[in-house]
């Protein structure tokens, strides 16, 4: 059985918002690579797809386990799909380090986007949902995704990495659109207008 078995058939779950304690705390390492874990991963894939995201951490569905899923293009526009438990991200240093500033958003703060500089390459090591070692080398958006999701599992939301001015702008953007996102989104779809 491979990851393709987990990217279909999961249940859509409500996405947890910033401010909930689980979003701002260190997660527990995954120690049981069982059907319960794989059901969670399948549900995370379904939730990410329903929300049109490229990555989703377990904390974003209210679970304090160190696992995230991704379905994200790399710098060559090749879609990469997977799930990583107990991830560790390694970033380039010295001459190899190249920061790329681009708009970043988060499904747990829907509607808000602000530019954030991150290294344009990242290597993420961990284990898959069956406990087998995995290494993912990310470029472009995939690099950003690996960093963003691993941050979540360490209790860091990307707003924590912004200046105070940009963080205020981010929250203002979110507040202007928050009424379009039901409390159980994406179980209930995003509204298209305030009158719905």
Residue 68 CB-density burial (10 A; 0-12 exposed, 13-18 middle, 19+ buried): buried
Whole-angstrom CA distances from 38 to 13, 94, 121, 130 are: 15, 38, 28, 8
Q: Is 149 a catalytic residue?
A: yes
* Inter-residue contact 159 to 17 (CB < 8 Å): no
* Inter-residue contact 60 to 109 (CB < 8 Å): no
Helices and strands (H, E) in the chain, number of each type: 3, 7
Q: Comparing C-alpha atoms, which of 118, 192, 108 is closest to residue 162?
A: 118
Catalytic residue among 93, 149, 176, 196: 149
Catalytic residues: 149
């Amino acid at each position: 059985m491979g990851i393709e078995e987990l990217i279909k058939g999961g249940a859509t779950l409500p996405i947890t918002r910033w401010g909930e304690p689980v979003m701002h705390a260190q997660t527990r390492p995954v120690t049981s690579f069982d059907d319960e874990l794989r059901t969670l991963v399948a549900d995370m894939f379904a939730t990410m797809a329903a929300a049109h995201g490229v990555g989703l951490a377990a904390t974003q569905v209210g679970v304090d386990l160190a696992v995230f899923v991704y379905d994200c293009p790399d710098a060559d526009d090749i879609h990469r799909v997977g799930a990583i438990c107990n991830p560790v991200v390694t970033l380039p240093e010295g001459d190899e380090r190249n920061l790329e500033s681009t708009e970043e958003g988060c499904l747990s703060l829907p509607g808000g986007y602000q530019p954030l500089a991150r290294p344009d390459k990242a290597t993420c090591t961990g284990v898959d949902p069956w406990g087998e070692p995995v290494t993912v080398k990310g470029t472009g958006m995939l690099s950003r995704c690996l960093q963003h999701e691993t941050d979540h599992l360490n209790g860091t939301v990307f707003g924590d990495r912004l200046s105070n001015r940009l963080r205020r702008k981010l929250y203002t953007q979110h507040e202007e659109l928050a009424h379009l996102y039901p409390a159980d989104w994406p179980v209930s779809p995003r509204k298209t207008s305030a009158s719905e």
